[in-house]
Amino acid sequence: MSKCVCVIAEYRGGNFRRVTHEVASEGRRIADALGVPLQAVAVGSGVAEKAAELGRYGVEKVFVADDPALEGYIAETHTPIVADLVQKCDPAVVIMPASVDGKDLGARLSARLLAGLVQDSTEIVVENGKIKAKKPIYAGKCYCWNEWADGEMPLISCRPNVMGCLAPDESKSAQVDKVEVTLPEARSSVKSLELDTSGRVGLSGAETIVSGGRGLKEAGNFSLLEDLAQVLDAAVGASRAAVDSGWRPHADQVGQTGKVVNPNLYIAVGISGAIQHLAGMGSSKYIVAVNKDADAPIFTKADYGIVEDLFQFMPVFVEELKKYKSSCS
Ligand SMILES: Cc1cc2nc3c(=O)[nH]c(=O)nc-3n(C[C@H](O)[C@H](O)[C@H](O)COP(=O)(O)OP(=O)(O)OC[C@H]3O[C@@H](n4cnc5c(N)ncnc54)[C@H](O)[C@@H]3O)c2cc1C
């Protein structure tokens, strides 16, 4: 019989990622609605030392696999170990991050656990003791609600930055159950060597994103966005047109065939607002657009619009922000 809600934690660079706190908080809410305990699964190198911290977000017990070989996500190594730990939890429902790694892991777990997967969910509810999960479809033009047949286990990945975090209760800690695992034999030559963030803020969990499009005209002009990003401690993103032009790497692309982001503030500079771009950023809390064409579709989504030549506007905007910041400090 199913006994708990299980959340899958994402651990990187010695810490749980913010999205782990979000799924734990959502897990707590669901567990309370179902009247069952909340447990977690955490896999990584050095994760055992930190696992009790998940108690601050309502997790009661954490099953941990800790091994230096688990530094960095490798699908073939992580999938069987996470699946084993999830089975130890014997969950009624599994909730996990819809991060880049989480989406990959989710699909693999779904096959292994024979669980129905809803990826990139933005809302989960419990109705009459049954789970329902909402997710965007058709590039964000509509939403659909999903439910599971009796006896089927829901596996839900949650879009980062959508589900709110509980205020951490520092007095609470989770019970940690360290499980000895046998690492699967390497079936590929992939090894995770090093995590190089080069001091840049990552797009997926960023609170603020400054994105540029074809209007920037050439790669070098992205320095205008990097200046702004530095002032705002933001990540830099790009439209597909900018990526296809070779101005930015594909990892920076926001949209239907890039990353789905959900920051508090998204500043779109020289981006028209094609539906495929909106699919990746349309749920941002505040959208600011800078575009010289007052009829650009991005303005239909924007909370604040600046109809201006970006080459005139951006340097002045950055200078004024710098002055404002130094007057505050
Ligand atoms: C299957 C499919 C998947 C796709 N996936 C994605 C995706 O993931 N992400 C994505 O972004 N796109 C995606 N696209 C492409 C999408 O349809 C658009 O072509 C693309 O988003 C356009 O990028 P853009 O807004 O930078 O360029 P444009 O549409 O060319 O817009 C440039 C804008 O810059 C403005 N501008 C120009 N000069 C200035 C200036 N000096 N000052 C101020 N503004 C200026 C213009 O007014 C214009 O609005 C996809 C398309 C398909 C068919």
Same domain membership, residue 166 and residue 34: yes
* Cα 271 to chain centroid, rounded: 23
**Whether residue 169 sits in one domain with residue 29:** yes
Is residue 240 located within the same domain as residue 149?
no
Residue 203 included in any domain: no
Judge residue 151's burial from the number of C-beta atoms within 10 Å of its C-beta, 0-12 exposed, 13-18 middle, 19 or more buried: exposed
The boundaries of the domain holding residue 258 are: 208-328
Distance CA 220, CA 104 (A): 33
| Residue that finishes a domain, picked among 163, 178, 193 | 178
Would you call 272 helix, strand, or coil by DSSP? coil
Angle between helices 310-328 and 223-232 (to 10 degrees): 20
Q: Do 112 and 229 sit in the same domain of this protein?
A: no
Q: Is the CB of 282 under 6 A from ligand 1?
A: no
Same domain, 235 and 274: yes
Q: What is the CATH number of the domain that holds 117?
A: 3.40.50.620
Q: Is residue 320 part of a domain?
A: yes
Clarify whether residues 246 and 288 are in a common domain: yes
Residues 261 and 219 placed together within one structural domain of the fold: yes
Whether 165 and 275 share a structural domain: no
- Name which residue sits closest to atom 37 of ligand 1, judged by CA: 215
Å from CA of 286 to ligand 1 middle? 19
142 and 228 fall within a common domain: no
Q: From the CA of 290, give the closest atom in ligand 1.
A: 43
Domain annotation covers residue 76: yes
Render each residue's pLDDT in the chain as its tens digit; 329 residues: 458 999 999 998 899 999 999 999 999 999 999 999 999 999 999 999 999 999 999 999 999 999 998 988 989 899 999 999 999 999 999 999 999 899 999 999 999 999 999 999 999 999 999 999 999 988 778 899 999 999 999 999 999 888 889 999 999 999 999 999 888 776 666 777 776 666 666 787 789 999 999 999 999 999 999 999 999 999 999 999 999 999 999 999 999 999 989 899 999 999 999 999 999 999 899 999 999 999 999 999 999 999 999 999 999 999 999 999 888 87
Expressed in angstroms and rounded, the spacing between residue 226 Cα and the centre of ligand 1 is 19
Q: How many domains does the chain have?
A: 2
Is 195 domain-assigned?
A: no
Domain containing residue 292: CATH number: 3.40.50.1220
Q: What is the pTM of this model?
A: 0.79
Q: Is residue 16 located within the same domain as residue 124?
A: yes
Q: How does pLDDT run across 201-258, given as a tens digit for each residue?
A: 678 778 999 999 999 999 999 999 999 999 999 999 999 999 999 999 999 999 999 9
In angstroms, what is the span from residue 311 Cα to ligand 1's centroid?
17
> Do residue 15 and residue 96 come from a single domain?
yes
Which residue do the tokens 């989406």 mark?
103
Would you say the CB of residue 255 lies under 6 angstroms from ligand 1? yes
Q: Is 280 left (phi over 0), alpha (psi -120 to 50) or beta?
A: alpha
Residue 190 placed within a domain? no
Question: Would you state the pLDDT for residue 166?
Answer: 94
Give the C-alpha separation, 227 to 211, whole Å. Answer: 12
**Closest ligand 1 atom to Cα of 239:** 11
* Residue 131, helix vs strand vs coil: strand
C-alpha to C-alpha distance for 234 and 321, rounded to whole angstroms: 13
3-class SS of residue 70: helix
Residue 292 belongs to a domain = yes
Alpha-carbon gap, residue 51 to 313, rounded angstroms: 47
Which among 158, 178, 198 is the end of a domain?
Answer: 178
Distance of alpha carbon 204 from alpha carbon 56, whole angstroms: 23
Predicted local distance difference test score (pLDDT) of residue 1: 43
Regarding whether 24 and 126 lie in a shared domain, the answer is: yes
Q: Is 253 a pocket residue for ligand 1 (Cβ < 6 Å)?
A: yes
Model pLDDT, residue 145: 98
